[in-house]
Structure 1
Amino acid sequence: MQPRRDGRGVDRERHRCRELQGSGQAYRVGVVALIDGLEGKDLVERRRSAEDRRNYELHLTAEGRRTLGAVSRAAAAHEDALLAALDPEQRTHLLGLLERVAAEQELTPGVHPGYRTRG
């Protein structure tokens, strides 16, 4: 779960459980177990939505923010190592080509292709 910008351009570190279910990031069958696991590791916490008390929002905890930062740094280091042979212009070109392939294959950004057939 990455912090995201809301409609006002403000970074948010909360997501509604229903948004995760409908976004392709998680499927209904496993979303509760996923959240339970993250909550059990003190990475997220559920809070009642102030906008709609029937819903919960997920908020990153301090430990969740630290973990997300560490994972992001590790991913960036891995990407740099993997693409070390390419200069910045070549990396940009590669990204454009990969985005074109993903669009043609109708892949959902941020979702592993193996999850397309689950539901």
Structure 2
Amino acid sequence: MEKQTMANREINMHEEMRRAFALLSGKWKLEIMWLLNQRIYRFGELRKAIPGITQHMLTAQLRELEADGLVSRTVFAEVPLRVEYEITEKARGLGPTMEALTAWWTKYGRSVPAKPGARGRKPKGS
């Protein structure tokens, strides 16, 4: 594995990348981040935009992303209560990665076999 030395401290890049992957691992996190990279969403909008995700799972994934400093949650003292989610400046640093993945998919996506069945629960009305 590649190791780098910074100020007399050896860094194992494999371990560091494992930590980075862990931030975005999870069934829905990348999809949530991709959507929030586009614009600010309310909870219900996110749920509708991600077919098959449950309310419980969306809540759990958003909480983890917020705890890791990748998503911010703003609560507006209104009736009814309004909550908005957006990516943080730290998460905006992933923008080039998202753009690279989009470019890769545009070029190679048609060559990837479609998998049968959607993930998670079926949306209502299906």
Which letter does structure 1 place at the counterpart of 2:46?
L
Contact 2:36 2:85 in 1 (8 A): no
Q: Which residue of 1 aligns with 2:66?
A: 39
1:50 deviates by 6.7
Give me the whole-angstrom Cα distance separating, in 2, the residues matched to 1:113 and 1:53: 33
Asked if 1:78 corresponds to 2:104, the answer is yes
Change (3 A) 1:15 1:52: farther
Q: Indicate the percent of aligned positions where both proteins have the same amino acid.
A: 22
CA-to-partner distance for each residue in 1:60-92, whole Å, 9 max, x for gaps?
A: 11012112x133133135336637xxxxxxxxx
1:31 deviates by 1.1
How many residues are aligned here? 87
Q: Which residue of 2 aligns with 1:115?
A: 120
After superposition, residues 96-111 of structure 1 pair within 5 angstroms as: none
TM-score, scaled relative to structure 1: 0.52
Give me the whole-angstrom Cα distance separating, in 2, the residues matched to 1:22 and 1:81: 28
Gapped regions of structure 2 (runs ≥ 5): 1-34, 111-116
Asked if 1:23 corresponds to 2:28, the answer is no
Change (3 A) 1:21 1:73: closer
1:118 deviates by 7.3
Give me the whole-angstrom Cα distance separating, in 1, the residues matched to 2:67 and 2:44: 20
> Aligned with 1:117: secondary structure?
coil
TM-score, scaled relative to structure 2: 0.50
Give me the whole-angstrom Cα distance separating, in 2, the residues matched to 1:46 and 1:117: 27
1:43 deviates by 1.0
Give me the whole-angstrom Cα distance separating, in 2, the residues matched to 1:27 and 1:18: 11
